[in-house]
Structure 1
Amino acid sequence: MSTTDPARAADTGPDAPKGPPDGPDASVDGFRRAFRSWLEENLTGAFADARGMGGPGRDHEAFALRRSWERHMAAAGWTCIGWPTGHGGRGADIERQVAFHEEYALADAPARVNHIGEELLGPTLIALGTPDQQRRFLPPIRRGEELWCQGYSEPGAGSDLAAVSTRAEWRDGPGGAHWRIHGQKVWTSHAREADWCFVLARTDPASTRRHGLGYLLVPLRQEGVEVRPITQLTGTSEFNEVFFDGARAEADHIVGAPGEGWRVAMATLGFERGVSTLGRQVGYERELRALIDVARANGTARDPLLRDRLTRAWIDVRAMRATALRTMAGLSEGAPGPEASISKIHWARWHRRLGELAMDVVGPEGALASGPPYDLDRWQRLFLFSRADTIYAGTDEVQRDIIAERVLGLPRDRRA
């Protein structure tokens, strides 16, 4: 299958991709080899220290170095590869995106710091944003210059997202027309490092549930914004609380019209279930391989029950990949359908079981910290952080509702 794209020949602006020419991209295998070669050549020197850094429960690791790596990738044209060429991407199809994420994981490259901007907000703006919004926000995302976080969950509106109470008030005075944001968001990944946050807020104070919401683009480095880190079981603080006390968003920094926020927010969640999840599964397979090595080294692999669980985990992770690929078949516009909720439940429950299996393989030593004050090894961190896998990115209960209503066609929940 050829990736020749007439738009690419005309994409010669300052934000055009700077990666390999079309030649290496002529086939999926060629694309895969080109990216693999680039990773081998560039994950060297200072960037060699970034290998394996970051990820769930470890996102504090080498953040500045990983951000530099993100910009290095961008300079070579290896960010936003699924974006249309007219917006600075490569226009890569699903097969090439799968190859990209798999090769990235296989190279043990560092966890990305710009995932929320590149994989969530960027595609949302490409699909639903205005031309002015696309010109303002997409190039800095592609270059790794501006980082984003997601302002959805609240203390009283987590799994039940339609219950958001954060409000956006319209002002039209001497300072010009704008929005003022009041409320609180929670479990906000990267809020301390992010420059911007896309915030789901209530623009109509008389509205309820999914109606009367707005999807606003809010700068975080301003008065009226306070970020408080949340210390987790792992001792780290990837997640944060964000308090808005009159924070300002410009009048034209709302995606869609006031009242259309729910539709835009659901589009973003669809992109979150996209092809990048396949890279996660490659990482899970690497984790399992490492755990099997531990079991062989400490002798627990000879225990028939543990050996059976390790075998089942291996079979299941391969089935997980097949399920995800089937979900991606026929994918259009970069956002899978509600069937992707099946994959989310699958990987979340599998990874949580892997954490439990890791503790049984490690044995009693897993109950002891490696050093003061709270120095955890990779298996302890995996066990603790994976308890949240069935909650973040959509709880199991919500995913089952989506499958029931949108896949099986069962009656909707009355609260909707």
Structure 2
Amino acid sequence: MPNLSIGLKERLKSYKEVRKRTGEYRMPVKGTALLREINQKNILDYIRTHEPCSRKEIAQALKVSKNTVSLIVEQLLKQNMIAESGIKEPIGAGRPKVLLRLRPDAFQTIGLMVQQDNISYIVLDFQLNELEEGSVSIKSQSVLDEVINLSKNLASRFHKAKGIGIAIPGIVDPTRGYVYQSANLNWKDVDLKKILSTEVNVPVEVFNNVKIAAERGKETVKPKLRSSFFYIRIGEGIGGAYVADNQVMNGNSWTAGEIGHLSVASHGPICKCGQKGCLEKIISMEAFREFLQSLSYTPSDKNDMDLTKLAKQDHRVHQEIEEYGNYLGRALVQVIHLLNPQEIVIEAPYNQIYEFQEKTISSAKQRTLSDAFAQTKIVFSKEFYSPAKGAAVSILLNS
């Protein structure tokens, strides 16, 4: 979505990129028509984050003429996308202001997060309220078949859906909706957007799961504003995403933020990427389960391990998780020195172990320039950044 703080020229360029990313480039819009579309999106976004609000407030905040705002608002009212919701009496002299709100039932949006053994999904309304959430197990040998079947089912039940956003673990080109590689799904060169577009009658967009979780996965009606942050997600693998000015950085080959393949141990085990000592190979949940197996532990559910209980039962488990913090801290040094983010957010099952957090911070502090470390906030998130929600929100805000 265009950044309202940048100039008109940059806004037009940003919006064209969004249109390209969301597949809206088949019928190019230029000149005043494009500017009108930008203004309409900005007005809708302002109403979403400031409702109830008046036409005058919108015009002043967006620095758009009152006449332009009035014309667009009237169109949105006719399209049942917004509604008038009362009067705000003036303080002192002046005319009463008619207040505007979004209509929650105007549109819906669907988000999917695809994993090797299940697909989680969420359906949101126009105000980002949750309408339905759930997951389905992969019953067939084909993950792709399950993605198609679930997408068709949801699209048929939610008739006002603006589109379906799909989060994939792997290297994804979001402009094409093309999955270059997903080791987790055993996919290579899958044109997912093209395949699904022939199966469902709504627009489809495809994203990297970690990047879209960082960009939109915790978005509320009033999103948290940060100049920049680096998000790290530790699960079956390890992914990262750098977000600046509310825009995720994809990189030239869509691999920006791949912190999982930073080498943190020169004599460590060989990773599937060919390097030795990659962070993912050493501290991912897959690596942790291999460690537990070496101790003859056989957790019944890989997604629901009580790490606190395991650590209390066996000091070797506690020491292993604490050492994971040491390795993660080494990786953070490179993030801080190269990107200098305002905040680093870590989402990991190990967060429940205090010593993991302590070791991560001490390891990073020991190796980082003191001023840079002091001005970087490190957060061990207790909340889940949802890739499915992120994909759904992106569809709604960019459509």
Same fold? TM cut 0.5: no
The interval holding the TM-score normalised by the smaller chain is: under 0.3
Q: TM-score, normalised by structure 1?
A: 0.25
TM-score, length of structure 2 as denominator length? 0.26
More helix, by proportion: 1
Task: Write 1 or 2 for the structure with the bigger share of strand.
Answer: 2
